[in-house]
Amino acid sequence: MIKLEDLSCGYGKKIILNHLDACFQENSINVIIGKNGCGKSTLLKTIAGLNKSYTGKIFVDGKNVENINKKQLAKIIAYMPQIRHIPSMSVEEFLMCARYPYIGMFNNPEKNDYIAVEEAMELVGIQDFRNRNLKRLSGGERQKVYFAFMLAWEANYLLLDEPTTFLDVEKQFEVLELIDILKNKGKTVVMVIHDICHGLKIADKIFCVNDGCINAFNNADELIESNLIQDIYNVKLHTVTVEGKKEYIIVK
Partner 1 sequence: MSKAREKIVIVAIMIVVLIIAFCIGLSFGSTKIDIGELIDAIRTNQKGLVVYRVFLYVRLPRVLAAMFAGAALAVSGVIIQGVLHNPLAGPNIIGVNSGAGFGAICAMIIFPYKVGSVPVMAFLGALITSLLVYLIALKSKSGKVTIVLAGVAISSILSAGIDALKTVFPDVIIDSNSFMIGGFSGISIKSLFPAVYYIIFGLLLAMLMARNIDILGLGEEMAQTLGMNVKLNRFLLIICSSMLAGAAVSFCGLLGFVGLIVPHIVRKYTGNNHKLLIPCSALMGASFVIICDLISRVLFVPYEIPVGIVMSFIGGPFFIILLLKGVKYNQ
**Out of 36, 66, 67, 70, which residue is the one contacting partner 1 (CB under 8 A)?**
70
Question: In whole angstroms, how close is the CB of 122 to partner 1 at the nearest point?
Answer: 18
The answer to whether residue 60 forms part of the interface with partner 1 (CB under 8 A) is no
Under rule CB under 8 A, which residues in 149-178 are in contact with partner 1? 153
The stretch among 99-107, 210-218, 223-231, 241-249 that binds partner 1 (CB under 8 A) is: 99-107
CA-angle at 192, arms to 188 and 198, nearest 5°: 90
Question: How many residues comprise the chain?
Answer: 252
Tell me the C-alpha distance between 163 and 161, whole Å.
6
Binding segment for partner 1 (CB under 8 A), chosen from 92-100, 196-204, 213-221, 240-248, is 92-100
Rounded-to-integer distance, Cα 94 and Cα 133, Å: 9
Stretch of 48-56, 59-67, 118-126, 213-221 lying at the interface with partner 1 (CB under 8 A): 48-56
Instruction: Give the interface segment with partner 1, choosing from 28-36, 65-73, 110-118, 172-180 (CB under 8 A).
Output: 65-73
Q: Which whole-number Å values give the CA distances from 163 to 21, 139, 146, 160, 175, in the listed order?
A: 24, 11, 9, 6, 7
The C-alpha atoms of residue 214 and residue 44 are separated, in whole angstroms, by 13
Write the single-letter amino acid at 63: K
Cα of first residue to Cα of last residue in the chain, in angstroms, is 37
Interface positions with partner 1 (CB under 8 A): 45, 48-50, 70-71, 73-75, 77-79, 81, 83-85, 87-90, 92-93, 97-98, 100-101, 103, 105-106, 131-133, 136, 153
